[in-house]
Amino acid sequence: MLNSMTAFGRGEAGADGYRFTIELRTLNHRFCDIRIKLPRKYSDFEEDIKKRVSSKFSRGRIEVSVLANDTLDKVQHLTVDTELAKTYKRLLLILQEELGLEGDLRLESLLNFRDLFAFQEDEESRGKAWRVVETALDQAVSDCLLMRKEEGEAMTSDLSRRLHQLEVLTGEVETRAPLVVQDARDRLQKRIQDLLGEAELEEARLAQEVAFFAEKSDITEELVRLQSHIRQFSDLLEAEGPRGRQLEFLLQEMHREVNTIGSKSNDLEIAQKVIQMKTELERFREQLQNVE
């Protein structure tokens, strides 16, 4: 069964004062493109998140959003840069004197300088935070993979139905192809006979012209290759693992054969079948854009 590239997953986890919510969205993309958005203080988790996600997805644009709600744990890891605070105080007093400003320098004046305070964790606390992130991420990935699988099953069913229709049309073209030469012979014979009137028709010349037409309009090889591509496509629909690129390649080859059949066959009925085949192949293309 196929997997869709469009899905959503969400995971939440909390422990040891940490709580994380992770949302994961996957979209169409030719390659595997992972975008991660997370709080700056957890930026060192980015590479580990990317490795964990890339091991589960082979194709598509994957957007990972990490939301942290760990205020319960901030107080015990909050530090103040007292040396920097002293520098700010000294500079503020100089500024007050230079500008002739009145008033007392209070603690509130220093609270506006956010770089005085920092959130620091030891290695053990960092490990606890990562384990919570890991749990939430695994849940989001699992939900997303399930959605991709369910959508992929629906896509597989639709593509199988369309592939069967393409196979039927190919069979109808194959049945019609030999009759095209006979129809051409009859038309050519009538046209020549009308021109010659009562004169005798040269059978050898007629046979030569018919043979030339048959060779020029022969689509046997194209039909054989098209039928082979259809069988390969059907096998890939039931295979395991990412197969989007292989299916896209086969689709291109089927397009090529159908176009050649249309250009070589000088027959209205086959031309109508070719139009139907191209319509089905275009619907294939739309679906395959979303296949992993």
Please say whether the beta carbons of 60 and 24 come within 8 A: no
Measured N-to-C along each axis, helices 268-288 and 244-264 cross at an angle, to the nearest 10 degrees, of 160
DSSP assigned state of 97:
H
Q: Domain map of the chain by residue range? A: 7-73+123-150, 75-119, 151-288
Positive or negative, the CA dihedral 78, 82, 86, 88 is: negative
pLDDT (tens, 9 = 90+) of the chain, 292 residues, equals 799 999 999 999 998 888 999 999 999 998 999 999 999 888 999 999 999 999 999 989 999 999 998 655 555 566 788 888 889 888 888 888 888 888 777 777 777 787 777 666 667 778 888 999 999 999 999 999 999 999 999 999 999 999 999 999 999 999 988 877 666 666 665 665 555 555 555 566 555 655 555 556 678 889 999 999 999 999 999 888 888 999 999 999 999 999 999 988 778 899 999 999 999 999 999 999 999 8
Query: pTM above the 0.75 mark?
Result: no
What's the CATH code, domain 7-73+123-150?
A: 3.30.230
